[in-house]
Amino acid sequence: MACMRRIEKPSPTEAPLLFEFDPKPAEEMLTALGGLPLVVQAFRSLRLPGSVKQHLVVKERQRGYDEATFVESFVILNAAGGECLDDFERLRADPGIESKAYGSKADESQILKSPSA
């Protein structure tokens, strides 16, 4: 019986990186929370706001944010590592989220607004 040799596959960690590091300082605003817009895109691409609207009715009045906005806000808070309502303040204070993801403060998405506001 012949001995079968195991073919060694190279580890992905041995491959070169798919990007180059640029040592020049970036002129635009950067944030460690830059992945949050992708969470929002996934939430909306899965049509979860419509599902929330269909299956969750909490509000009795038509003022303020709707249920889907509240759910989206808490999904984002969870993705950012938030643990309490006070952590919404940290999201609102991040200048990189404001400038990179949602434009100026005037047209900032409602997702970063505290539900208690």
φ and ψ at 47, to 5 degrees? Answer: 60, 35
Question: Mean pLDDT: which of 1-10, 14-23, 84-93 is highest?
Answer: 84-93
- What is the predicted pLDDT for the residue at 108? 37
pTM of this prediction? 0.59
DSSP 100: I
Which tens digits make up the pLDDT trace of 94-110?
876 654 444 333 333 44
Query: CB of 34 within 8 A of CB of 95?
Result: no
Which tens digits make up the pLDDT trace of 65-95?
888 888 988 999 999 999 998 888 888 888 7
- What is the predicted pLDDT for the residue at 75? 92
